[in-house]
Amino acid sequence: MKNVEKKNASFSVTDVKQSPMTIFKKAKETNKGVYIYNRNKVAGVMLTVEQYEALIKKKTIEQDQEMKVTRLNQEIRQKIAFGSLISTKNLDDHLVSLGFITRKNESDDYIEMMNELNETGKIDYCLQKKEDRTTIFAEVIGEQSNQSHLSDKLIVKKIHLRVD
């Protein structure tokens, strides 16, 4: 059997016909898929059952996370109108109601949030889903309003969500 070592192990279609178990053993040994070539072109990849099931599980988890982020994004848009004036307290209350960690300090003020917004152009929030240990970050992009006489008002331009 000809085995060309590259990034992943590879075999020919003929090799598969002659000894498929050898290829499964190689996949298990290397813990990687084994490329199967037909006339110098990749025809497919062989995996062990465990590798295949792990791949399916990973894909399902990624899809679930995407759905959670999409749902969370929709809930945020229902609570916070982009481009409108909002107080830092209301912004914090809305995001906390969705599971994000509050940004107010011990003295119940939001000065640090406004300082962060003025320095970086955004306010960072964090949400941790305990059931699957997913951490979702929200970057509230905006600017302090000069239209209001109150210093705690801001205009939310966008909110970006990312999963870590």
pLDDT digits (tens, 9 = 90+) for 59-77: 998 898 889 899 999 999 9
Whole-number Å distance between alpha carbons of 8 and 34: 6
- E strand spans, 47-133: 85-87, 122-129
Between CA 94 and CA 116, with CA 136 as vertex, the angle to 5 degrees is: 65
pTM: 0.68
The DSSP secondary structure of 86-105, one letter per residue, reads: EEHHHHHHHHHHTTPPP---
Write the single-letter amino acid at 101: I
Confidence check: pLDDT of 152 > 50: yes
Confidence check: pLDDT of 98 > 60: yes
Whole-number Å distance between alpha carbons of 53 and 149: 59
Unique residue bearing structure tokens 């791949």:
55
- For the chain, domain boundaries: 10-47, 60-163
**Which residues partner with 44 through β-bridges?**
36
Confidence check: pLDDT of 30 > 80: yes
Confidence check: pLDDT of 33 > 50: yes
Instruction: Measure Cα distances from 154 to 101, 115, 139, 140, 158 in Å.
Output: 19, 12, 14, 10, 12
